[in-house]
Structure formats: C-alpha cells, structure tokens
Amino acid sequence: MAREHILKCLEAARLAPSACNSQPWKFIVVDERTKLIQISDAAVGLGMNKFTVQVPVLVAVVQESMNLEAKAGAVVKNKDYSMMDLGMAVENFCLQAAELGLGTCIMGWFDEKKVKEVLGVPRSRRVQLLIALGHPDAPTRSKVRKSLEEMSSWNEY
C-alpha cells in the first residue's frame, strides 16, 4: 500500500480533538512482512479476525499518558477522557481511509502482550486497538443500528 495513503490517515488522526488537547495516542503502522505476520497471529484468536492474515497494513493504537490538565479533569469528574480521545482519533483515521477508497476494521480482541513484545511497546503502555487497513474486495455491508428514535431525543431523556 502507498505510504502516501497511510500518511493521510495518520494526519487525520493527528488532528483529532482530545480533552485538554492531551493527544494521548501513538499509532504504530506495521507494514513490514515479518512483523505483519506476527501481529496478525496475535489478532487471530478463537477463530476471529482471520482476514488479518491478508491485510497489507495493521496499525497498533497505543494509549499514551494524558497531560496533567486532562488527568486532573479525569479524576475530578471521574471520566476516562483518554479512551474517548482514542476513539475520536481512530474514527478520524478510518473515515479518511474510507475517503481514499480503503477499508478498515477496528479490533479490540487480540493478544495484547504479544503485540507489545513484537513492537517493543513499554510495559507501562496499553495497546487498546488494532486497525486493519486494506483494499476491500466487497462493498461495505449495510449497517445494523438502533433507530434514530432509540438513540436520540429532544429536550428530555
């Protein structure tokens, strides 16, 4: 896959908003054959994510420390802003990929310990998500979602 396309996706993630502009993320792009196989192995568990053996790129999303302001806010308000922030950055990455005609799959189920070993991620860090990035061979499935009435309301719960 052209690195130019991957760089555009990274740029979209880079610009994502985050609590107190903390940007608590690091995206490790894996496109080297040997490591790709190892990370793919870590994602294929319990019969899931088998398609990962075919993808040209896997991205490990590392949760980094929040800055002090965001940490303080998270404690005072009892909110895990850091995970929200990761969600926003990852969504930007995937939307940019779609815009480029690429396909993504966000995975939360993988052997995190193995991924950290292969990529040399410090013990203190978590790899919260893997993103598969590739050229889809079929159109996106139509989405099954709650209705608008179920997921929204006006002026009261």
Contacts with a second copy by CB under 8 A lie at 7, 10-11, 13-17, 19, 21, 23, 25-32, 35, 62, 73, 77, 79-81, 83-88, 90-92, 94-95, 106, 108-109, 112, 119-122, 125-126, 128-129, 143-146, 148, 151-157
Distance from C-alpha of 117 to C-alpha of 120, rounded to nearest angstrom = 5
3-state secondary structure of 140: coil
| Residue 84: partners with Cβ closer than 8 Å, 6 or more residues away | 19
Nearer to a second copy, 84 or 100 (CB): 84
Burial class, 123, CB count within 10 angstroms (exposed 0-12 / middle 13-18 / buried 19+)? exposed
C-alpha angle 65/12/113, rounded to 5°? 45
Nearer to a second copy, 33 or 101 (CB): 33
Beta carbon of residue 89, minimum distance to a second copy (angstroms, whole number):
8
Beta carbon of residue 101, minimum distance to a second copy (angstroms, whole number):
18
Beta carbon of residue 137, minimum distance to a second copy (angstroms, whole number):
20
Beta carbon of residue 5, minimum distance to a second copy (angstroms, whole number):
14
Nearer to a second copy, 15 or 68 (CB): 15
Q: How many CB atoms lie within 10 A of CB 157?
A: 3
Beta carbon of residue 47, minimum distance to a second copy (angstroms, whole number):
15
Nearer to a second copy, 138 or 144 (CB): 144
| Residue 72: partners with Cβ closer than 8 Å, 6 or more residues away | none
